[in-house]
Amino acid sequence: MANESGKNNALTLKTLNKSSVWDIQENDVFRLWENADNDSEVHENIRHYRDIVRSAFMIEELKEDSTEIRTKYEKQGYKVAQVKIDETSKVTWAIKKRPIVRVTDLTYENIRHISAAKLVEVLDRNFGGGWDSLSQSIKDIIESGFDISTTTLPKDRLHKKGGMYEKKIADGYEVLEVAKGTWVEAIFAKLKPEAEKPRIKYNSYKDDDDENDDEDVEIVDDYNKPDEDDVEIEEPNDDEINEENYSTMMDLTGDDDDITADSLEDYADE
């Protein structure tokens, strides 16, 4: 929680975007807006910043700022406060974080800002036919932020000791079980780690003190390497081929008895 707080404190209204806005809460919105009170650039682009906030929050502008009206909105979970929209005027906003309760509430901007447990909760509220009942667009959004895997097994075999279910839970996956008659589909979800962008260092000059900088750099000299077209390929001599030195590349023989029902069953469990 301390890290999240520090991250929110580092944000400003001008650095906020449609992804990071999902990290903050209603009181943070008012704080960021208040901190930008004297920023003329914010006032000139007020619609832009308001649209960013609207992507994650419901905003109601109160025409009448009375105790009765404020109480009405606060009972619905809104936070109410005044915000400055230009150099001379203020308005009263009632704002509330947009809830994520259905799969259609999921977007590429908010998918990485929910937990795997929250995702399973949302899927559970919307499921009927399992993972395949979701549209491809919703699957793409979910898989952009989560590792997803599924398995369908008879109900009495899903929790088999040492099976996929036990291994996934041990690896930190959340799971949703969807009943399908006497079978159960298990959908496993785990938040993907954020990919780090590679850092590339360019050196425009080399100092005497940097003599060892290139020790780990392997330089491949392809200058004298012959082109593929220049490589001489020895043609086979048909007179030297006979039954003794000719063989096929693949042995197609095999013992069918090696494949048993038990091995197929074990394969299906994995």
Please give the average per-residue pLDDT across 233-261, as a whole number: 49
State how far the Cα of 10 lies from the Cα of 114, in Å rounded to an integer: 20
Answer yes or no: pTM beyond 0.75.
no
State how far the Cα of 8 lies from the Cα of 49, in Å rounded to an integer: 16
Look at 71-80, 94-103, 201-210 and tell me which has the smallest mean pLDDT.
Answer: 201-210
DSSP 231: S
* Tokens coding 120: 């399973």
Q: Count how many Cα atoms sit within 13 Å of the Cα of residue 187 in the half-sphere of its side chain.
A: 26
Residue with tokens 């780990």: 216
pLDDT tens profile 38-74: 888 888 888 999 999 999 999 999 998 899 999 999 9
Q: Of 148, 69, 55, give the one whose Cα is nearest residue 105.
A: 55
- In this structure, the strands spanning 174-180 and 183-191 are antiparallel
pLDDT tens profile 168-198: 999 999 999 999 889 999 999 999 997 654 4
Q: Looking at the predicted structure, is the pLDDT value of residue 123 above 90?
A: yes
Q: In what order do the strands lie in the sheet with 174-180?
A: 146-154, 183-191, 174-180
* Tokens coding 59: 């905003």
Residue with tokens 């050196």: 203
Q: In what order do the strands lie in the sheet with 79-84?
A: 57-62, 90-97, 79-84
Q: Exposure pattern of 261-270 as b/e (b: 16+ CB <10 Å)? A: eeeeeeeeee
